[in-house]
Amino acid sequence: MEVQIVQDIFGQEYIPESFQSLDKWKIAMAERQITKKCFLEVIPRFQNIAEGIHVTSKKIFFDYHNDLIEVKLNAIQFFRENHSFLYKSVILEWAKFLERINPGLPRLISKIEGQGP
């Protein structure tokens, strides 16, 4: 989605050497469109909670309004209290993904965590 927005604004062959050389108006337009798409359509889905056969949007972790993200205090507390578990879960899922696309890599989890050679 974001790639499509950038290609629509800057063209299909968009590979800049630096952002400073780009049209400031186009940069602002791309930022507005990406922000709108991500924060109004994509990111809120992370807070959709399944309740039986229905899905309810609950603003448990954050809220978005006036181009600002408000992280809820209970979310910060949750992430602090569960950091170790969440970190290990992310590493495990990352390793599973990498092992699927690179089946010849031995000891992948220890490599990702930076332990051992």
C-alpha pair distances (Å), 10 with each of 23, 28, 91, 105: 9, 12, 35, 38
Which residues lie closer than 8 Å to 30 by C-beta, 6 or more apart? 5, 6, 9, 10
Average pLDDT score over residue span 6-10: 84
Decide which of 43 and 34 is more confident.
34
Residue with tokens 């600002």: 68
pTM: 0.48
> pLDDT tens digits, residue range 72-115?
898 889 989 999 999 988 888 888 788 778 777 776 666 766 65
**Domain boundaries along the sequence of the chain:** 2-66, 82-117
Residue with tokens 């696309």: 101
Residue 21 · residue 27 · CB < 8 Å: no
